[in-house]
Amino acid sequence: MGSDMNETERQKIVIKLSGSVFNFNTQSVVLKEYADLFMSLNEKVQLIIITGGGKIARHYIELARALNGDEATLDTLGIDVSRINARLLLTAIGRLGYPQIPKSLDEVSMALEFNKIVVVGGLHPGQSTNATSALISEKIGANTFINATDVSGIYDKDPAVNSDAKMFTELSVGKCMELLGQKNSQAGTYELMDLVALKVIQRSRIRTIVMNSDINSLKDIILKGSNFGTRITF
């Protein structure tokens, strides 16, 4: 992904930014650092950033579940929070960002016509922001989908509780489905990738990388093609 591309040749990069970036104790300086990164990349690549809901979304979802809310309502709460996170990031990006938060795939496509950074939250109940990111990647013909998470990549088992967990540098989409696709589909419980996201990645052969949301690593993988995280293969 070289830096000599002109405006019409910019590659489309979809970044799912982990909801862990947007927590109760998140400082404005952190969001400013991400905004500065995205703004610095804007002349080189067309960025579409999807923000997760994180712990704040899960907090609201669990409150609503305790109040006997149905799963569709709980999903909608998660979407609402992810859109607030998107608005926060967009506020930090300022004039280089598309001024609205798209609420459908068609709105995302239209937003790209303005050659600005597009920031999106969730779109539809029943879909994780990972699935939303994969669908957006498919819709716009993205060159790369980066799932920027709070872990370094996809492991053979949970690294938080298994010190001997090994990270895959490459993993077939079929194996991803075995490892990640059988998770709980309740609102607020989506993991690194869910089955909908993986099926979209598979059917459109979307170049996908799961990696840590470290700012310098994101910059290097986009500008230099550095190797970080786990690449999903076909």
Q: Is 112:96 a contact under the CB 8 Å cutoff?
A: no
To the nearest 10 degrees (0 to 180), the angle between helices 129-140 and 105-112 is 50
Q: Is 20:148 a contact under the CB 8 Å cutoff?
A: no
Check residue 10 and give its pLDDT.
86
The angle formed by the CA atoms of residues 123, 128 and 132, to the nearest 5 degrees, is 50
pTM of the model: 0.90
Nearest to 16 by CA among 57, 53, 50, 55: 50
- Structural domain boundaries in the chain: 7-233
DSSP characters over the chain = --S---GGGPEEEEEEE-GGGS-TT--HHHHHHHHHHHHHHTTTEEEEEEE--HHHHHHHHHHHHHTT--HHHHHHHHHHHHHHHHHHHHHHHGGGB-SS---SHHHHHHHHTTTSBEEE---STT--HHHHHHHHHHHHT-SEEEEEESSSS-BSS-TTT-TT--B-SEEEHHHHHHHHTTS--STT---SS-HHHHHHHHHHT--EEEEE--HHHHHHHHHT----SEEEE-
Check residue 157 and give its pLDDT.
81
Q: Is 39:96 a contact under the CB 8 Å cutoff?
A: yes
Summarised one tens digit per residue, pLDDT across range 38-58 is: 999 998 999 999 999 999 999
CA distance 90 to 98: 8
Give the CB-side neighbour count of residue 36, counting CA atoms within 13 A. 8
The domain 7-233: what is its CATH number? 3.40.1160.10
Q: Which residues of the chain are under the pLDDT cut of 70?
A: 1-9, 181-191
Q: Which residues are CB-neighbours of 181 under 8 A, at least 6 positions away?
A: 193, 194, 195, 198
Check residue 204 and give its pLDDT.
96
